[in-house]
Amino acid sequence: ALISMRQMLDHAAEYGYGIPAFNVNNLEQMRAIMEAADATDSPVIVQASAGARKYAGAPFLRHLILAAVEEFPHIPVAMHQDHGTSPAVCQRSIQLGFSSVMMDGSLGEDGKTPMDYDYNVNVTRRTVEMAHACGVSVEGELGCLGSLETGMAGEEDGIGAEGKLDREQLLTDPEEAAAFVKATHVDALAIAIGTSHGAYKFTQPPTGDTLSIQRIKEIHARIPDTHLVMHGSSSVPQAWLEVINQYGGEIPETYGVPVAEIVEGIKHGVRKVNIDTDLRLASTGAVRRFLAENPSEFDPRKFLKETVTAMRDLCIARYEAFGTAGNA
């Protein structure tokens, strides 16, 4: 059944687990997520970005998610709009039937320019008023996402500030977070605690302090009833990078957020964990390997089936690690 994200995150908070929010663009991703949720008895958050709507078309995305609900009626599904850049964008998603929207007022409508606090409060509060009237949940964002190592937002497709940020800019302020939640009434808050979007988060192998767990604790202590969201939470599996590069890919050395650190964040109020890049890496690796090993095959179902298996296994691993499994 399609349910609101608030309801799902409230349950996660009560029982102390996290829920991965996977980005969805096509049938194979949707099927991989649902098969993994079915195998592990997990609730599902699927989210669609502006890029996804551009790729698949909003009606196709909507029906993809509704088809998942129809085929897996026993799995709770929240249909979330990722990184809305204005109240108008969020309104269109609500009209399309999304049960949750993100109003990302940390950046301007171009998705790049860091905006001020008052702008963020204004667009987020307006979105909450509209969404709550329709029973739809709202995620806001406060702070500029960026890697604590490189100081870069690390965006690939148009979401993220440009240029190098300093450490204070990269960490959400707990007092400001409390004021923001009070002024907007958001259901969930995306915070900057050291993550960044895309595959290029860290240049060195992680040593266990990729995230500022300390800052997560401080924010959670200040706003214990607000569900915290971690964007940029792909772990960039080294095994998939090796497969990609073994079969003709050229991806330079790079590292993501270790699953163990995400699990630590979940202990301190993180409830929604956004993952897109890992599914991209798994599907690319699966396709490259299959086509290299089966050069005479030309039925797309053969190599796309490999992507479903690869992504499904990755989703299962996250559902298990985050404690989502068993909570559908």
Active-site residue set: 82
Nearest of 314, 324, 319, 309 to residue 277 by alpha carbon: 314
Nearest of 270, 194, 268, 203 to residue 232 by alpha carbon: 194
197 counts as binding ligand G3H under rule CB under 6 A: yes
Residues in region 243-272 near ligand G3H by CB under 6 A: none
Tokens of 121: 């409060």
In angstroms, the CA 76 to CA 289 distance is 34
Q: Which does 220 bind (CB under 5 to 8 A by kind): Zn ion, ligand G3H, ligand 13P, none?
A: none
Q: Which does 99 bind (CB under 5 to 8 A by kind): ligand 13P, ligand G3H, Zn ion, none?
A: none
In angstroms, the CA 283 to CA 194 distance is 26
Between the two ends of the chain, the Cα-to-Cα distance in Å is 11
Q: Is 219 exposed, middle or buried (0-12, 13-18, 19+ CB in 10 A)?
A: buried
In angstroms, the CA 149 to CA 213 distance is 15
In angstroms, the CA 142 to CA 192 distance is 7
Angle (CA) 90-145-203 rounded to 5° is 135
Complex with Zn ion: residue 129 or 162, whichever CB lies closer: 162
Buried-exposed string 104-121: b where 16+ CB fall within 10 A, e elsewhere: bbbbbeebbebbeeeebb
Between the alpha carbon of residue 190 and those of residues 70, 181, 187, 323, the distances in Å are 30, 11, 10, 20
Q: Which does 289 bind (CB under 5 to 8 A by kind): ligand G3H, Na ion, Zn ion, none?
A: none
Is the Cβ–Cβ distance between 70 and 37 less than 8 Å?
no
Tokens of 192: 């900057």
Q: Provide the minimum distance between the beta carbon of 24 and Zn ion in the complex, in angstroms, as a whole number.
A: 14
Phi–psi pair at 21, nearest 5 degrees:
-110, 105
197 counts as binding ligand 13P under rule CB under 6 A: yes
Complex with Zn ion: residue 42 or 106, whichever CB lies closer: 106
49 counts as binding ligand G3H under rule CB under 6 A: yes
Q: Binding string, 23-52, against ligand 13P, x = CB under 6 A?
A: x-----------------------------
Residues in region 83-112 near Na ion by CB under 5 A: 102
Contact window for ligand G3H (CB under 6 A) among 7-15, 44-52, 70-78, 131-139: 44-52
Of 28, 82, 218, 306, the one binding Na ion (CB under 5 A) is 82
80 counts as binding ligand G3H under rule CB under 6 A: no
Of 275, 281, 282, 311, the one binding ligand 13P (CB under 6 A) is 275
Of 23, 29, 100, 195, the one binding ligand G3H (CB under 6 A) is 23
52 counts as binding ligand G3H under rule CB under 6 A: yes
Complex with ligand G3H: residue 24 or 177, whichever CB lies closer: 24
82 counts as binding ligand 13P under rule CB under 6 A: yes
Of 28, 139, 173, 276, the one binding ligand 13P (CB under 6 A) is 276
**Residue 77's beta-bridge partner residues?**
2, 44
Scan for tokens 């109003």, then name that residue.
Answer: 103
Q: Which does 172 bind (CB under 5 to 8 A by kind): Zn ion, Na ion, ligand G3H, none?
A: none
Q: Binding string, 227-256, against Na ion, x = CB under 5 A?
A: ------------------------------
Tokens of 296: 């005479």
Of 159, 219, 270, 314, the one binding ligand G3H (CB under 6 A) is 159
Which amino acid would we find at residue 101?
A: V
The residues of the shown chain that bind ligand 13P, judged by CB under 6 A, are 23, 82-83, 197-198, 231-234, 274-278
The residues of the shown chain that bind ligand G3H, judged by CB under 6 A, are 23, 49, 51-52, 82-83, 157, 159, 197, 276
